[in-house]
Amino acid sequence: MYQPRSAHFAPIRTYLDHIPVIDTHDHFATFQPCGDPLDFILDTFYLGDFYTAGGEKAVGKGDFDFFQPIPHHLPMKERYDIFLSYWKKSCHTAYARAMQEGLRICYGIDDIGDYEQFCRFAEAFKNRDASLYDRVMEDCRIKAKIADRGDLDNYMNGTIPYSKYSRFTFHMSQWRNVHTKEHLMNAEKILGRTITCLDDYLEAFDRYFDRCLKFGVVALKDLNAYRRTLAFTHPTKAEADKAFNELVANQRTIFGDDQVRPFEDYLFHHALRKAAACDLPVQLHTGHMASTRNDVRKANAANLIPTLELHTDVRFSLLHGNWPYMDEYLFIGKNYPNAYLDLCWVQTIDPIYSVELMKRCVLTVPHSKVLAFGGDTSAPEWLCGYLSLARDNVACALAELVDCGWLTIDQSRQIALDWFYNNPNAFFKLGLAPANV
């Protein structure tokens, strides 16, 4: 892992292994089985590095596919050899290192690039069961996990169980991504009648939001930076009505982004007003996006400045360190009281960026506004691997600040405890007991 030549690194890193953690952003709410060990390895963020190293040609991935497995009809050894040929080209990235760390912690596998070790992993993987989830959560000292699971119906009605650690987000994106009348069907089920105007749609949104609020959601979440700019407009109700009326009046037409933008942006601001009224924070995707071939410029958090200035009574969590736009991210955290810096995922995207970002955060941003960790993963193995990397990064950043005399060792410990636990506990109003050094 990434470690500085500092006498203070080891004691700080050891300390971090013993403090409580709140995972600010993840994508699983309980244990989820997976049958194929090679699919499991690739169904991580490392998949992006596998693809950009050339692996997408081997599996037949299209430009907009996220996961395409190495063909199952091939013998396992042949499938592994395909994996290995691209692993050798990409095994030094942080994604690869974090994935390997998760395998080491959970299965004792030090080198997935060795076929004998892969076979040992594949054999152990057959015995993977739900006990792994609780074991990882306890060993990692994770006290709560903010789960982004999209539609919450199956959790609210008890169809799908979820762990005691899980707290849920209300997902805004699915409500705003409407391009044809067919996309209104779920809202019509909630409303119990045909949607003929924007007021009907807002009523359905409010009903579902209130239901999720009673269920106990702790934040709103939006990830539409994957498909559009974060530069939200501020349309009038009349402009939104006009765009929505065109959509419902033309049932067989698929409308483009520009055509539905007035409605989409109006609903975004409507959701933010709901968040303010309920004192719920809002998580927004910023910066780098998973998979390949996406334009990161549209996801720069700097595009959000008008939104931050308009909704001063909403607390925003700007996710993923805005990688690779560090300077804009620091400016926003320093300049806007309602903007918080959430380093979920970025700790695994780029450790050196993350270390530099955290050092500069201490010097420029109130340390109460930084949230150190969210796995953004889909399995406990990757959660513990990514957390291990994040702990290394935090220890590295704080050790360097102790080395130069900016912090004392006790101050570094308090900052780490706040970043990993106290700050997210307060930000999401989880009501857990505060922790002290």
**pLDDT tens digits for range 313-369:** 999 999 999 999 999 999 999 999 999 999 999 999 999 999 999 999 999 999 999
Q: Residue range 272-278: average pLDDT?
A: 99
Kindly state the DSSP code that residue 254 receives in the 8-state scheme.
P
Maximum Cα–Cα distance across the chain: 68
The fraction of the chain above a pLDDT of 90, given in percent, is 92
pTM: 0.96
| pLDDT tens profile 24-44 | 999 999 999 998 999 999 988
Where are the domains positioned within the chain?
35-125, 144-427
Alpha-carbon gap, residue 52 to 43, rounded angstroms: 15
Main-chain phi, psi angles of 284, to 5 degrees: -125, 130
Residue 358 CA: distances (Å) to CA of 4, 97, 170, 349, 363: 14, 20, 28, 14, 9
| pLDDT tens profile 172-219 | 988 999 999 999 999 999 999 999 999 999 999 999 999 999 999 999
Residue 5 scores a pLDDT above 90: no
Kindly state the DSSP code that residue 145 receives in the 8-state scheme.
E
Residue 149 scores a pLDDT above 90: yes
| pLDDT tens profile 47-92 | 999 999 999 888 877 555 667 789 999 999 999 999 999 999 999 9
Question: Around Cβ 63, how many Cβ atoms within 10 Å?
Answer: 8
Q: Residue range 229-257: average pLDDT?
A: 96
Q: Which two tokens stand for residue 223?
A: 């990830």
Q: Which of 345, 288, 340 lies closest to 317, judged by CA? A: 340
Residue 312 scores a pLDDT above 90: yes
Mean pLDDT for the chain overall:
96
- With H, G, I as helix, E, B as strand and everything else as coil, classify residue 278: helix
Alpha-carbon gap, residue 315 to 369, rounded angstroms: 10
Tell me the residue type at 193.
R
Tell me the residue type at 227.
R
Say if domain 144-427 classifies as CATH 3.30.2290.10. Answer: no
Question: Around Cβ 267, how many Cβ atoms within 10 Å?
Answer: 22
- With H, G, I as helix, E, B as strand and everything else as coil, classify residue 11: helix
Position 8 scores a pLDDT of 96
Kindly state the DSSP code that residue 183 receives in the 8-state scheme.
G
Residue 386 scores a pLDDT above 90: yes
Position 60 scores a pLDDT of 77
Q: Is the peptide bond before 324 cis (omega within 30 degrees of 0)?
A: yes
Q: Which of 359, 291, 283 lies closest to 314, judged by CA? A: 283
Q: Which of 120, 134, 121 lies closest to 162, judged by CA? A: 134
Main-chain phi, psi angles of 381, to 5 degrees: -60, -45
Measured on CA atoms in the order 87, 89, 95, 100, is the torsion positive or negative?
positive
